[in-house]
Structure formats: structure tokens, C-alpha cells
Amino acid sequence: MSKGRLLSGMQPTGMLHLGNLEGALANWVKLQDEYEAFFFVANWHALTTMLDRTEEIKRYTRAVATDFLAAGLDPNKCAVFVQSDIKEHAELHLLLSMATPIGWLERVPTFKEKQEQLHLETVSYGLMGYPVLMSSDILIYKANAVPVGQDQLPHLELTREIGRRFNYIFGDIFPECEGLMTEYAAMPGLDGRKMSKSYNNAIYIADTAEETETKVRSMYTDPLKMRKTDPGHPAGCAVYNLLKTYGRADMHEDCEAGRIGCVECKKRLAAFLNDRLAPIRERRMELEQHPEKLDEILAAGAEKARKVARATMVEIRAAMHLD
Ligand code: SF4
């Protein structure tokens, strides 16, 4: 029995890594059995930060969609599509922007962060309106559930506020959407910081088994543990912390007592990750060898999504006397 309608997306700003897989995708794979689910590649959103690299956005759009499917999203259970294939998102974005005070957007914490992070001298209208586009992504499907991380909660709250304001002016159209918090510890990267493509410390879903082994060999461990017999401090070790996110860090005492060395630990981690990623890589490879399959799946996903988006727009245009 479906719990309702669910929507989530990811920006194609790079290849997806283990953090994306375990922090979001693995959860989506479970949720597709519980909800009428829509998952999309947010290529319009990527324009806010990669306007000078649109060819890359195109390439990553396919790569991210491939990762979605390789991770286990099943096109028979959910809709997988590309945002720009559903033009109704843009129409609703325009209409919602009329009902969104600028002050609400200026208060969104990620807006200020992005502005500082990207050292932007001028902020584009698109970057500022990014949360309105996100609201239209959600509201156009009348989604009642959105899986989110902590950092996206302000966006979701803004979506609720915009939806309420719109309902107040034009009548009850949008339901309240609920954030489904993803319970997962942040995945440490190769250098021990949070795994992120911008830190260049990630293990990618698309990496080969050999690339994964090489990356794991380069991982940060306890610098005081030079030999196997030296007493180690696992708490600050990236290898230990990565295994811990998988509940596999049973070498704590052996490390401290000097009974295990970093080489052995890294071998265990690489073997574990390669086992975890093997079926995903196999599906990935198959999709890459048959690009027409991906085209078909994305077209069918867009068809499913468009049907719902069009029905919502008919209702909205009538409510706003734009029909
Ligand atoms: S033995 Fe293992 S847990 Fe200890 S520092 Fe080396 S890699 Fe980390």
C-alpha cells in the first residue's frame, strides 16, 4: 500500500560517490517500494553553479541517471527522469516566484553559504530563485514526502511556506510535504574530511575495483602508527571511520594493541567496498554498453512525470484564471 507520493533529485555537478550512494540512493531504493516515487536529475539546478560548463552538465546528467539505476532504482516501480524534460517545472517556477517575497529567499542559509563558497561578486537571479525552482519540483507532483538531509530542511520549510501562501490566495491546491530525514552518518573521504567531490577525496560508484584499491591504499590513517606493532589511535583514522559507517569496524582493540597494521586494514576495506559495489558496477556497465536502454527508461520516466505535472498545471492555470 503506497504511503503517498515522494519526490527527490540530485544535481549532475559530478560523478556520484559512496556518500551519495549510502546517504541517499540506498534509501531511495527502499522508499520506491513504499511510495509512488519520482526521482530526477536536477540539470536546471546545476546551471546555478556550472553555467560555463554546460557540456559537462549534459555528460553528468547521463552518468547520474546511470548511477540511479545501477544503485537499484527500478523503472517499473518509480519514475526516473531528467528535470529539463518536464517544462512544467519551469512554468510553475515562474508562477510561484510571483508569490515569493524576496526576503524569504535572502534568509535561506544555503544561499549565503553558496555566495561565500563560490566567491561570487554578483549573484544571478537563478541562484537566488533556486529554492523556488526546488519548490516547484516538489509541488508540481503534489508530493507529500521528500527525503532530505539536514542542510536541505530550510528549503523544504520554504516550499511549505510558498505552498501555503499559494493555497491562501488561490485555494487548496498543494498538500503539505513532509521531510523524511535520512539517518546516516556522514561518510569520511580519503583524507578523513567529509567525502565530497569538491575535496577530491571521494570513491566514486563508477570507479573500477583497481581504482578503489589504489584510492584506499592512499587513505589517511594514524600517522603515529608506522609499524604494525605500534599502538594506533583508530578514532582519527579515515579507514576505521569509513568501515564504522558500515558497522564493520571491529579492529579497534587490535589497532590499539598493535596486533593489526594499516596495510591489512586497508585490504579489508578495499575488499569490502569492492564486494558492496560489484553488483552496482555490473549494472552500470550494462547500461553504458546499451545507451539506448537509458534513453528508453528516461523517456518512460518523463512520460509518467509529465502526466502528473500537466494535470497539476491544468488545475493551477484554472485557479489563477490563466486557462
Ligand atoms: S591499523 Fe587500521 S584502524 Fe588502526 S590506524 Fe591503521 S588503518 Fe587505522
CA 267, CA 271: separation in Å to the nearest integer? 6
pLDDT band at 1 (very low <50, low <70, confident <90, very high): low
pLDDT at 115: 72
Neighbours of 106 (CB within 10 A): 10
pLDDT at 32: 97
Neighbours of 264 (CB within 10 A): 14
Q: Please indicate whether residue 120 or residue 182 has the higher confidence score (pLDDT).
A: 182
In this prediction, residues 183-206 reach a mean pLDDT of: 91
CA 248, CA 272: separation in Å to the nearest integer? 9
102-144 pLDDT per residue, tens: 999 988 877 777 777 776 677 889 989 999 999 999 999 999 9
259 CA distance to ligand 1 middle (Å): 10
Q: Please indicate whether residue 113 or residue 196 has the higher confidence score (pLDDT).
A: 196
Residue 62 near residue 48, CB atoms below 8 Å? no
Residue 247: Cβ-neighbour burial (10 angstroms; 0-12, 13-18, 19+): exposed
pLDDT at 200: 93
Residue 42 near residue 11, CB atoms below 8 Å? yes
Average pLDDT of every residue of the chain = 94
In this prediction, residues 311-323 reach a mean pLDDT of: 97
Q: Which residue of the set 58, 77, 197, 244 is catalytic?
A: 197
Q: Does residue 114 carry a catalytic annotation?
A: yes
DSSP letter (8 states) at residue 10: E
In this prediction, residues 187-198 reach a mean pLDDT of: 93
pLDDT at 114: 73
Neighbours of 55 (CB within 10 A): 9
Q: Does residue 197 carry a catalytic annotation?
A: yes
| SS3 label, residue 38 | strand
Pocket of ligand 1 (CB under 6 A): 221-222, 225, 232, 234, 237, 239-240, 251, 255, 260-262, 265
pLDDT at 72: 98
Domains of the chain and any CATH numbers = 5-186+291-319 (3.40.50.620), 207-283 (1.10.240.10)
pLDDT at 120: 67
pLDDT band at 205 (very low <50, low <70, confident <90, very high): very high
Residue type, 229: T
Which of 224, 227, 265 for a ligand 1 pocket mutation test, highest count of atoms within 8 Å of Cβ? Answer: 265
| SS3 label, residue 59 | helix
Residue 79 near residue 301, CB atoms below 8 Å? yes
Q: Among residues of the chain, what percentage have pLDDT more than 70?
A: 98
pLDDT band at 322 (very low <50, low <70, confident <90, very high): very high
234 CA distance to ligand 1 middle (Å): 6
Least confident window among 53-62, 107-116, 166-175, 213-222: 107-116
pLDDT at 117: 72
249 CA distance to ligand 1 middle (Å): 10
* 24: pLDDT strictly greater than 70: yes
**Residues paired with residue 8 on neighbouring β-strands, in sequence order:** 39
Q: Among residues of the chain, what percentage have pLDDT more than 90?
A: 85
**Dihedral angle over CA of 180, 184, 185, 189, nearest 10:** -110
pLDDT at 265: 96
* 188: pLDDT strictly greater than 80: yes
Residue 96 near residue 173, CB atoms below 8 Å? no
DSSP letter (8 states) at residue 25: I
- Whether this prediction's pTM lies above 0.75 is answered by yes
CA 309, CA 304: separation in Å to the nearest integer? 9
Residue 12 near residue 63, CB atoms below 8 Å? yes
Point out the ligand 1 atom lying closest to the alpha carbon of residue 238: 8
pLDDT at 189: 96
219 CA distance to ligand 1 middle (Å): 10
**Residues paired with residue 39 on neighbouring β-strands, in sequence order:** 8, 80
Q: How many CA atoms lie within 13 A of 239 on its CB side?
A: 31
Q: Which residue of the set 77, 114, 293, 304 is catalytic?
A: 114
Closest C-alpha to ligand 1, atom 7: 262
In this prediction, residues 269-296 reach a mean pLDDT of: 97
Residue that has been written with the C-alpha cell 491562501 in this structure: 168
CA 126, CA 90: separation in Å to the nearest integer? 12
* 299: pLDDT strictly greater than 70: yes
214 CA distance to ligand 1 middle (Å): 17
